Structure 1
């Protein structure tokens, strides 16, 4: 189902504490930034600050789009948790989250894909394919994203079985496009997370 969600109040600070109580008892939430990491004004960083129990991947080299390196970073961030995992990826981090969930669906409850880049840009189209994800997924896409056209976003969302949230003209849905705290995005993620309660599929 496609849903249009205008990017209003992009920079309004998030509410104090978790909106929908995504917590370690219910889910292990892992933030997966893309190339160059996400800076301090990026929504991933601000969400992490307002949800200190969330985890975030760490990389030795944020400049090289190494899918295996991102995969290892996600594995390290998950560690030995017994809780089902929710991955929240942006750009190349979204592709990496898709790849991890497709390989290890028993560990992952769901995936949030924000502005995923076109796989061919990184020459990984043989690994990031049109196969449906084996776990629930939520995808945010923009009409003027320089890394993925809206038509291709619709194609990938349908192929992966992801619910598509259309955020209009929102660039790459990052700090440069005006997406700081991005409270609307956080609310949608909280709603998605509530649907994931229960056993991992």
Structure 2
């Protein structure tokens, strides 16, 4: 993506931050310094990121609670951008409809059964515009399962091909294409379309 295109994406997201709270929801072990979530947070001052006391224990209720604490009394609806286990927690909170969630970007979601979360993760439409970004060789969720979950949640599916777990180890640092996916999601949220 060229500089001019990236500038347009940055401007659109900055403008949208007046309407929406943008929240990063990392997965297990947090997202390190080279992870795309960390790059995005450094690139744009409007990003908020959940805080977690224990990043090393896969406790879905604890992750959901961290999102709830961050959203708290906010008046603007939120767009959650979750990775891996954080993606599952984001979906759970959206399905609970206990907070004003405007949209979801679910990147490399974790397989719920790996974390004994299959009874908590919603199996029905999330009720908000959502996009699932998935990889054919993700070690945490097989691609056919990502297709299944995208269908169950009525989310758009973005197929990145052979992209590993879509993290720093797979080469996803700044990830400008991901910001373009997010911009498209924001446009769907603005238009009120799923």
Q: If the length of structure 1 is used for normalisation, what is the TM-score?
A: 0.88
Partner of 1:79: 72
Task: Map Cα deviations across residues 111-170 of structure 1 (whole Å, 9 max, x no partner).
Answer: 110000110000111111321111111010000000111111111111110100000000
Q: Point out where structure 1 has 5 or more consecutive residues left out of the alignment.
A: 1-7
Q: How does 1:47-58 map to 2 (within 5 A)?
A: 47-58=40-51
Alpha-carbon distance in structure 2 between the residues aligned to 1:29 and 1:107: 12
Q: Point out where structure 2 has 5 or more consecutive residues left out of the alignment.
A: none
The correspondence for 1:157, drawn from 150, 154, 158, is 150
Q: How does 1:69-148 map to 2 (within 5 A)?
A: 69-104=62-97, 107-148=100-141
The correspondence for 1:193, drawn from 162, 176, 186, is 186
Aligned partner of residue 186 in structure 1, secondary structure: helix
> Against the structure 1 CA distance between its residues 61 and 16, is the aligned structure 2 distance closer, same or farther, given a 3 Å change threshold?
farther
Q: If the length of structure 2 is used for normalisation, what is the TM-score?
A: 0.91
Shift of 1:24: 3.2
Partner of 2:162: 169
Alpha-carbon distance in structure 2 between the residues aligned to 1:111 and 1:75: 15
**Greater alpha carbon shift after TM alignment, 188-197 vs 44-53:** 188-197
Shift of 1:200: 11
Partner of 1:35: 28
Aligned partner of residue 113 in structure 1, secondary structure: strand
Hey, which bits of structure 1, 4+ residues long, moved more than 4 A?
14-17, 198-201
Aligned partner of residue 125 in structure 1, secondary structure: coil
Alpha-carbon distance in structure 2 between the residues aligned to 1:49 and 1:78: 20
Partner of 2:12: 20
Aligned partner of residue 171 in structure 1, secondary structure: coil
How many residues are aligned here?
A: 190
Shift of 1:79: 2.5
* Superposition RMSD in Å: 2.2
